[in-house]
Amino acid sequence: MSDILAGKKGLVIGIANEHSIAWGCAKAFHEAGAQLAITYLNEKAAPYVRPIAEQLKTSIILPLDVRDDAQMKALFDAIKTKWGKLDFLLHAVAFAPMQDLQGRIVDASRAGFLEAMDISCYSFISLSHLAEPLMQEGGCLLTTTYYGSEKVIQNYGLMGPVKSALEGTVRYLAAELGAKNIRVNALSPGPIATRAASGIAHFDQLLELAHQKSPEHVAISIDGVGAYARFLVSDEARLVTGSIAYVDAGFNIMGG
């Protein structure tokens, strides 16, 4: 493995356990030479995240609920104190209340919709705002999305319009921050059996559909997503910004 991220400092948000997409990315970043800061949601999540984060010799491990402005500030204060800069950030956080996620969009509650947008989309804006001053030499902001943002995917429900908003946010942030050499992109993996995905009704059917319909007919892995993420946050991707990067074995190119 080449050290294409040697000397880079990165923040990874969204690891829940060893099956998380964010974990696959964190491993790839570490193997490429990056130093990482890693967050966990709360004390209930800490026993699942801390042990695997420590495998990567992580120098900053802190709690972060993206709705908590004080925790957000404390995290970036710690990064500034420890490193004085930030080269890249991965945002792999999404949530919608179960009743709203598994129901019809037309029946979604205002509270549920706003909570999904706050956690899944606005949090990326908040993180970008705090990261910008630490990226004086440029950097990369990376988030995670899904093809259900573009086309109606059965049972994806409320997360469809929420991810659409996130992808629009990626494009506008890329336009605004490009002059500072800060790139903004989104990874769009095919379905992967993560804890977050378990909230989607009949997720096993979605996995099977993706496997059958994609040209490569293979399951998407967190390691495969991590490999693409590693490239996107590296200097080798210095001309890539505002993009939605599919890691789905070609599923997105297929018709109905």
pLDDT the model gives residue 55? 94
Q: What is the pTM of this model?
A: 0.93
| Residues taking part in catalysis | 146, 156
Q: What is the pLDDT of residues 147-195, one digit of tens each?
A: 999 999 888 899 999 999 999 999 999 999 999 999 999 999 988 766 5
93-135, pLDDT tens digit by residue?
999 999 999 999 999 999 999 999 999 999 999 999 999 999 9
CA dist., res. 143 & res. 126, Å (int):
13
Strand-strand pairing, 182-189 and 60-63: unpaired
Report whether pLDDT(84) > 90: yes
Mean pLDDT of 61-80: 98
Question: What letter does residue 103 receive in the DSSP assignment?
Answer: S
pLDDT 10s digits, 190-239? 887 665 655 666 677 777 777 778 899 888 899 999 999 999 999 999 99
